Amino acid sequence: MSNLQAAYAAAFKNVRPSADDLPEDLAMIVTSCWKEDPNDRPNFTEIIQVLLRYLSTISAPELVPPSIKRVFSSENAVLPPESPGTCSLMAVRDGGDQNPTDVNSPEKEVRGSFFCCC
């Protein structure tokens, strides 16, 4: 069902999603907001009070630290620019020199740039 179809069904056919699977407090506030007469609907202060009361009854989700293996895995490693892999790539880019000079030496001129867009 598209957004437009859902809006039409709600406005003109009084079709609403089921609130049966919601906790009782939330189902009450959701369904009361659907009442046809705006005077029968809760105001924002009442909605906030109900939601705050509901939040105080539920426990906070347990924070799970990331796995040590994941934190120190090679996929997350940041290699320095002078790593052999980077130097080898730069040598190929700069003319195919198989024995690259020190990347920090003054005679090494940067002639290109690296651009990555995600």
Instruction: Give domain limits for the chain.
Output: 3-57
Query: What pLDDT does residue 48 have?
Result: 94
DSSP state of 91: H
pLDDT at 93 over 70: no
Mean pLDDT of all residues in the chain? Answer: 74
Contact between 65 and 43 under an 8 Å Cβ cutoff? The reply is: no
Residue, of 71 and 38, whose pLDDT is higher: 38
Question: Phi-psi region for residue 95, left (φ > 0), alpha (ψ -120 to 50) or beta?
Answer: left
Residues listed for the chain: 118
pLDDT at 90 over 90: no
Kindly report the pTM of this predicted structure: 0.44
14: pLDDT strictly greater than 70: yes
Write the DSSP symbol of residue 96.
-
pLDDT of residue 109: 53
Residue 106 pLDDT > 70, yes or no? Answer: no
Contacts of 50 (CB under 8 A, 6+ apart): 25, 28, 29, 42
Please give the pLDDT value at position 7: 82
